[in-house]
Structure 1
Amino acid sequence: MRASVADVNEEQLRAFYRSLNDAKTLVGSDLQRNVYRNYTEFVVISKEISNLDGDMLLLRDFLNELRVINTSFKDEVDPMAGIINDPAPIAESITQRRKPSEMATADMQTIYRAQLASLWESIEGSQRLLPFAPDRHIVRDFSNFVELHPKTLQARQATQLVLLNDCILVASKKKRTMSSKVKLVADRCWELDKILVADVKNTSDLTNALKIVHYNDEYLFRCERPEDKMSLLVTIKRVTDELLESSKQNDADAKLSVNEPLLQMQSQVEARSKKSRNDRDPTKQMPQLASSDVKWLSELPDELEVFIAIREFEDAVAYIEKARAILSSFSSDPGKLDGVKEEIDTYVDKLSKAIGRDLSNSLLTKVQFQRNVNWLLRLGLGETGREMFLATRSGVIKRRIRQLTFEGDVTTYINELSLVVFTLVRNTCEWYRDSFKDNRMASGFITWVKEQITIYAQIFNKQVFGQNSLNLRVISDCLRSTAEQCSLLRKVGLDLKFMLDDIFAEEIKKLIIAYEERAIGRLDKIIKEDKFLVVSSQSLGTYSPSYESPHILC
């Protein structure tokens, strides 16, 4: 201080003092902000440490058990003799060390079952969404959350989030009738591997919010304190990581089970090839399954899972085709590869469902439709693709028909109806012809066309022939417009005029008969009302008879 302020005056000294106070205030505010920001992480880390303590104790028990078993084997001078002559000491030592862990596992399952039972009692309808499953247990619940509308940000309902080791349950808070108490009702439940939890940045309109994405649906939740939000995000991440690790372990076990039949078959093929070397007959030797193929088949499930998740359907179909080509080369002994084929069929089913959802979209362009159909054909699911496509087109035609409004003019309505139906049928025929090249699948499409024509004929009969007040000119105009639109199908190779003629023939016949009866009735009425008198019944010769009636009947 003497070196800094030795040669300054009073004003400079006061300015230096003010700068020191400002620096002190700034440092204090920064320190306070750092404490607030790190406090939540400190709390979460403390809970993580407490969880790690229990894991370390369990790991220590496992290590002690392993050490005792290892020691018991080392103490045996002759391991085979000890096993054959007196296996009791080793069995007793292993049993004594395993009993506590087995008992601990049974106790944990009992605790988990009690947790779920308590959850079912406290939250109405939770047992339906959250049935019992082994090792399913509650991790933590978060009660101070409110569900918001994703677009308007308006509060929908107060909720409580219950996080389990494999899923998350959302329960809404509702008031009881005739009471001020609040009851919890289970609203929805999501599996952790099928949702995405993301933090939402604070804005002027929204604070302390997070977003949960489940397929195409988004849900927004908000809490009062930022500590609650950070605690939920960190806990979900920890549980998700644990779930991912367990799934990786299960996949590794599944790979071992998949590789086992492949390795067995490879050993058998090698044995056969060695046995037949003396013959030197290349026509009787079986091809060997290369180690690279074994490794590639073992990694195939993971690759297909990723491709389906990121919607790389072209790569997924190519991988399945390659796997089928590899497996087809060993068709002489198919029993060894049943496990691999079943797993491939499982992913083929999952892939076809994903492609089918896209194929069911009524807004697909022709190029997108052909691409999806091509994938299904390569998978050997042409029939499935045809049924999905035709069902989608039926829905489009039905929806377009419902959009037509009937304003009283039958001729105009039938013109619009025929235009919509026959145009969509023609477009469907063009798409189908360019995508499905196999003629054996044409019968299913013709059946679909007949169904659409039958539906159109039913609507036509109801609107035209079902009304007795229409004259023949209106009916003729409706039939003419229908025939003109139906003739457009000839451009795509369909001529269905004979079908319409067969359907309308009976109604037209009834119409002619009814018209004849009405005409005869009117004629009889005119004759009865007409008064005439015959003057003479003799031969009239060349002169005309005279009647009192002004009407002359021929």
Structure 2
Amino acid sequence: METFYEQMPKLSNALAKTIGHRNFDPEKYVKSVSTQSDGDKDLEEEKLRVQSLGEDTAQILKKQVYKYYQQFIDTAKEISYVEGEMFQLQHILTEQKNLMKVMTDIYSVKDDEKKEDNGSKRSESTSREDRKRVMSSLRDRVEGFPDSPNSSRFLVYDNDVKELELENFSEIRKVHLFLFNDSLMITTWAGMRRGQLVPGKYKFQQILDLKDLAVINVRDLGPVKKSFKVMSFLLSDTVMFQCETTKEKRQWLEILDETKNKFLADQEAGLDNDVPLSPVSPTLSALNPFETEFSTSPKHESAATSVNEIWLADMPEDLDVYIAQRYFEDAVDLIKKAEEYFATNPSAKDMENDLKVRKAQLVAVLVKELGTAPDRSHRGGPTAARRPVALLTKLGESTKACQLFLSNRSNAVSYALRQIRAEGYLGLYITKLCNVFFTGLKDTMVEFELAFSNYHGCYSKLVVWSNMEIKGFVDLVAQQVFTRRADIAEIADCTSTILSQCKATNIAGMDFEYTVSSLLLPDIETSMKDHRCKVIDAVKLRSSEELWRPTNCGTPQMLLKLQEEMEGYGIANIYQYSYNECFCHLTNSTLSFTRALVVHVDSVVKMYLPELKVPMLDGIEAIAKCYTEFIAGCLVSEKERPDKAKLIKRNAMFVAESLLPLIETKIQRCILQLPKQLADLRIEFIKRTSD
């Protein structure tokens, strides 16, 4: 706390120590302040000091967060790394535990083998009758009990648990689990007496195959205690259960693990599940790694010879471990190796179903990696999707990988665009949007070529995706740029930025300039027509108020500013129209017309597209013709007033010799040919004003 107080201002330091004390009582503090104050003014001052302290504290906390932000990130990474190591350690300990149990059972069975040999046949027949009797009783107690094609199914363990919601860990219902030697059955209580659930009668809900089952131990954190998860790879479903006691949870985990291992081992060895597992004395002879050395029965010998590859026998469990520990590359290599082995050894295809299940599970995990969750960061860029895309293509899922990759990039680009705030000058905002969008588009194409260069059928999806993304981007830009209130110069700058950025994004032989131009064409044409109408209306309004007087700038500095402005528009001979240090022969209407026409021409030239040549020339001709007709008419009406006529001719000469040639030059640079209709208009105007 000393560091915190040192950062506080001197006036707030004492107050901070008082309020930050461990035994601080707000009520006593308020009473002491009210008794010591002389009136409302003291209370207001104390209130302001407390508010100032709160603001200072917030600023200090914010600085501390920024200061230690990188440490938070590093700590989170370390925690994630340690969690992965703990998971691996737990798996190793579980394997060691199973191995020790197997070795213990081997020698205990050897010692008691002679004693139990005489009564083995009688106990075997008795146990089978007991199992049949239990299964028959279950059919009566469980409503909708499923019929099993496996006649050797028997009950291993059952108990009551609570089913929890995965999101908020609230209790959904109370269920009863029945663990068989080959499956796990989930039932609910069906009996009711006086509105209360009565044990003994159950209703079937779901049955899960043990070979497609994974049991996950859930750590005790917060409200989640004494719980475990059951995940079905085949159904892509996860259920969480909560036990009454920790001992009961540990018992469930041990029995589920042992039963699944026994079931998988019997399936691989081709054995029948004749001996039930119990939580007290599990028999794991199928997991015995020394069975070929100690066992001489014909059944065991045939099982050993049927699995002629050790790695193939361990393949399902190895794939489960690789997927759980996120060693996806090792899982893909093992799958490819198994597929090659099955292709050359048809006799081993009985394990091909297990391979298909694990392959589907791995594909589902990789698909989730490429998916877009709300809480997932998009800062990794397209390279973050390189690993799952490469693995999916190796597994023969190139079409799915292409679709998910493009969907991932769509969400990433959309997220990046949403982070840009529309603040200040519109052109700057559009420039940021273009940089983000076209850079994302370019990166996506580069990464796409690296990932799918050998899959030519995927390029059609890239073309369709690119067109859809560009259409969405143009719609977003059009909503911001092409509005009735937008200035034509801003619209021109934004359009020019979009087109120039688009030209720089021609990757992999794909040219998006035509697509962008065709999408922008209607809005650009509408903006040109709207601005043309506004300029014509403004020219008519100025013309109606024209008194044909020279412009008085007031001071030489203002005249110099006017000359610099006209030079900026491209009119170099503006100085010959100035006189008496602050006067200009050009009238206000002529100057306003010059500004409006030059701005309009510069804007439409920036937005020029080949399809807009005719409407662009027609619009410029209409604006120029509006003012030239006005000057010609005024020249006729003011013939009787020589001074007025002389001033009108000076303005007409400026329009004909300086302004219109400048406009023709600008347009000629744009369309690479002389605008004949503007040249004809200028020649006709010169003839009419020179008479």
**TM-score, normalisation: structure 2:** 0.44
Deviation of residue 61 (structure 1)? 6.5
Alpha-carbon separation, structure 1, partners of 2:451 and 2:370: 13
CA contact 2:184–2:207 (8 Å) conserved in 1:
yes
Partner of residue 320, structure 1:
335
Where does 1:387-466 land on structure 2 (aligned, <5 Å)?
Answer: 387-407=403-423, 409-438=425-454, 440=456, 441-465=458-482
Alpha-carbon displacement from aligned partner over 1:315-363 (angstroms, at most 9, x marks no partner): 3322333344445558xxx8x8876666644443332222232333646
CA contact 2:639–2:645 (8 Å) conserved in 1:
no
Secondary structure of 2:505's aligned partner? helix
Alpha-carbon displacement from aligned partner over 1:371-417 (angstroms, at most 9, x marks no partner): 43332333222222222211111111122223333357533432232
Change (3 A) 1:181 1:148: farther
Deviation of residue 229 (structure 1)? 2.8
Which among 370, 376, 386 is matched to residue 359 of structure 1?
370
CA contact 1:149–1:219 (8 Å) conserved in 2:
no
Secondary structure of 1:384's aligned partner? helix
Change (3 A) 1:221 1:63: closer
CA contact 1:148–1:222 (8 Å) conserved in 2:
no
Which among 478, 484, 493 is matched to residue 477 of structure 1?
493
CA contact 1:211–1:218 (8 Å) conserved in 2:
no
Partner of residue 138, structure 2:
112
1:63 equivalenced with 2:125 (yes/no): yes
Partner of residue 212, structure 1:
228
The range that moved more, 378-387 or 315-324, is: 315-324
CA contact 2:307–2:313 (8 Å) conserved in 1:
no
Partner of residue 177, structure 2:
163
Alpha-carbon separation, structure 1, partners of 2:485 and 2:513: 27
Alpha-carbon displacement from aligned partner over 1:186-232 (angstroms, at most 9, x marks no partner): 9x9996843323675xxxx9999534356799979686xxxx33234
Change (3 A) 1:328 1:363: farther
CA contact 2:161–2:243 (8 Å) conserved in 1:
no
Alpha-carbon separation, structure 2, partners of 1:248 and 1:449: 51
Q: How high is the sequence identity, in percent, across the aligned residues? A: 17
Partner of residue 4, structure 1:
none
CA contact 2:131–2:154 (8 Å) conserved in 1:
no
Alpha-carbon separation, structure 2, partners of 1:450 and 1:222: 54
RMSD: 5.6
Alpha-carbon separation, structure 1, partners of 2:217 and 2:261: 15
Which among 308, 312, 322 is matched to residue 323 of structure 2?
308
Deviation of residue 506 (structure 1)? 1.9
Secondary structure of 2:422's aligned partner? coil
Change (3 A) 1:415 1:170: farther
Alpha-carbon displacement from aligned partner over 1:110-150 (angstroms, at most 9, x marks no partner): 54345444xxxxxxxxx9xxx9675798812258x999999
Deviation of residue 163 (structure 1)? 3.5
Which among 203, 215, 233 is matched to residue 195 of structure 1?
215
CA contact 2:427–2:493 (8 Å) conserved in 1:
yes
Secondary structure of 1:195's aligned partner? strand
Amino acid at match of 1:163: L
CA contact 1:390–1:448 (8 Å) conserved in 2:
yes
Alpha-carbon separation, structure 1, partners of 2:395 and 2:319: 14
Structure 2 unaligned segments of length 5 or more: list them. Answer: 1-118, 232-236, 273-304, 373-377, 549-629, 653-688
CA contact 1:308–1:316 (8 Å) conserved in 2:
yes
Secondary structure of 2:226's aligned partner? strand
Change (3 A) 1:113 1:515: farther
Where does 1:11-26 land on structure 2 (aligned, <5 Å)?
Answer: none
The range that moved more, 431-440 or 300-309, is: 300-309
Secondary structure of 1:468's aligned partner? coil
Change (3 A) 1:343 1:433: same
Amino acid at match of 2:527: L
1:140 equivalenced with 2:140 (yes/no): no
Amino acid at match of 2:468: E
Deviation of residue 512 (structure 1)? 1.2
CA contact 1:141–1:162 (8 Å) conserved in 2:
yes
Partner of residue 284, structure 1:
none
Alpha-carbon separation, structure 1, partners of 2:258 and 2:135: 22
1:348 equivalenced with 2:359 (yes/no): yes
Alpha-carbon separation, structure 2, partners of 1:389 and 1:139: 45
Alpha-carbon separation, structure 1, partners of 2:175 and 2:255: 16
Amino acid at match of 1:307: Y
Amino acid at match of 2:411: G
Alpha-carbon separation, structure 2, partners of 1:111 and 1:537: 117
Deviation of residue 469 (structure 1)? 0.6
Secondary structure of 2:160's aligned partner? strand
Structure 1 unaligned segments of length 5 or more: list them. Answer: 1-56, 66-99, 118-126, 173-178, 256-289
Change (3 A) 1:473 1:254: farther
